[in-house]
Amino acid sequence: MRGTGHSATMPGPLGRYQPGDKLPSISEQCGRFKVSASTINLLNVRLKALGVINRHQGKGIFVSDPETWLRKP
């Protein structure tokens, strides 16, 4: 993440995301990166544990507000 507060973006191979942005589906990510769904799921589990993303059943995966997880001890 770069920036401060609500203007922070999450850089990466998927692009830049603002808090609240929906990430591409697992199948879209699998196709783009040529990896299995289990690899994407493992990454998502780790990002959720860090508080970087939120998963909403039936709605998707969304970027969290960095103020809730950035610089946590």
CATH number of the domain within which 43 lies:
1.10.10.10
The closest of 3, 55, 72, 42 to 64, measured between CA atoms, is 55
For residue 39, is pLDDT > 50? yes
Domain count, the chain: 1
Please indicate, yes or no, if residue 19 is contained in any of the structural domains. yes
Taking the whole predicted model, whether its pTM rises above 0.75 is answered as no
Please indicate, yes or no, if residue 73 is contained in any of the structural domains. no
Q: Is 2 helix (H, G, I), strand (E, B) or coil?
A: strand
For residue 56, is pLDDT > 80? yes
pLDDT of 13 reads 54
State the Cα–Cα distance between residues 9 and 1, nearest whole angstrom: 5
For residue 32, is pLDDT > 80? yes
Please indicate, yes or no, if residue 43 is contained in any of the structural domains. yes
Please indicate, yes or no, if residue 28 is contained in any of the structural domains. yes
Please indicate, yes or no, if residue 21 is contained in any of the structural domains. yes
For residue 19, is pLDDT > 70? yes
Per the structure, the complete domain to which residue 54 belongs is given by 5-68
Q: What is the mean pLDDT of residues 20-33?
A: 93
